[in-house]
A = this chain, B = another copy of it.
């Protein structure tokens, strides 16, 4: 962990090491993934079965046999405890309610009497959701991807998840069913992304692939971008807490650790105007670390990419925050709404002393799929917008074309596109 003052001469250099933690994809990974995509395009199901056997140690006679059956869903529902079921249902319900508010309507403007202009919003027909398997299994990830798709009106949601040895987590299956996922295949890795992007005899081609995954999955998504839509490219997770000396150090320490436990590459940063508060948070982190089941991951993250930064003023802290554009931003200050309008770049903003980031991770309502690594400068949280597309609507009456025709022809001609102009003039003159 670095303890820095924002006015330190070497502050920028010290901090650069934290910012630079994201790995760039090597060309070797890219070549492996290109080969996998080519094989899936050429051989379809045969390639899928082959890769699934090799990478997931899962033998199947057909890709159809890798689809989760109704019986397996029923079994999963039977295995999940009542209180967990209630929590998952609450999450689905709250996430759906929030995302409902993001829906946009088709509109048509009647500002002019001779021309109608508008924008039509239609849902994607079919999307694919990638859910990581193996060690960590996250039903919340299923909910955060599937619910916005369903709220958007997507016709069919296909989920893929690698299942080493065939095992699939019952909470993940329950979350899938509660969220409205239509079909689930035991497929993972770059091959699953390729199957969704291009389709095989068994796996239908989708219009967009979303969801987190390892470097092979992320690379595959980047490489199929254009053939299908993808959500943002996610890097390691991060939190920035802005503090003014108010609040409880142990609470902030817990929030920093909730980020640090994700991943050794995660980054947890406190920027405070109160050096003493910062020191107490640092001490609390040390104390709480020892109590964590995921201590070694959290400790490594905190040691390598954790920081406590002292700022001269709250405005300095805000300028810093806008510069790094954090994925998660806590405004752990006495009057968080007073500084909200100064925040320009952040994935999600958690206001006040009773809004730990973890609330947003599961069931506050907003999406937990957020832009990382400074990309909140231009990316948005996953939303209903990701599962619809728009079409412009243009209607000219003869009078409307007559009114604007000469100007259209004028621009066509100065661009040297004569046939463009003729398509207008032939209707009028």
Contact = CB atoms under 8 A, between A and B. Distances in A.
Given A83-B410, A349-B391, A356-B423, A377 B415 contact: no
Given A378-B207, A389-B380, A261 B417 contact: yes
A255 B424 CA distance: 9
B390 A423 contact: no
B343 A391 contact: yes
Contacts of A225: 222, 225, 233
A29 to B, nearest CB: 15
Interface in A76-121: 83-84, 86-88, 90-91, 97-98, 101-102, 104, 107, 109, 111, 115-117, 119-120
Interface string A36-80: 000000000000000000000000000000000000000000000
Contacts of A250: 426
A139 B356 CA distance: 50
Contact of A392 (B111, B261, B367): B367
**Per DSSP, are chain A's interface residues mostly helix, strand or loop, or mixed?**
mixed
14 contacts: A87-B407, A87-B414, A229-B378, A255-B423, A258-B417, A288-B422, A337-B395, A348-B393, A348-B394, A353-B427, A362-B411, A376-B389, A377-B389, A381-B391
8 shortest interchain CB distances as A-B pairs: A229-B378, A366-B392, A380-B390, A356-B423, A348-B392, A254-B423, A87-B410, A358-B420
Given A140-B415, A293-B416, A359-B408, 9 more contacts: A229-B378, A254-B419, A258-B420, A261-B417, A354-B400, A362-B412, A363-B404, A365-B394, A385-B385
Interface of A: 83-84, 86-88, 90-91, 97-98, 101-102, 104, 107, 109, 111, 115-117, 119-120, 122, 124-125, 136-140, 171, 207-208, 222, 225-226, 228-229, 233, 250-251, 254-255, 257-258, 260-262, 288, 292-294, 298, 336-337, 340, 343-367, 370-371, 375-381, 383, 385, 389-398, 400-401, 404, 407-408, 410-412, 414-424, 426-427
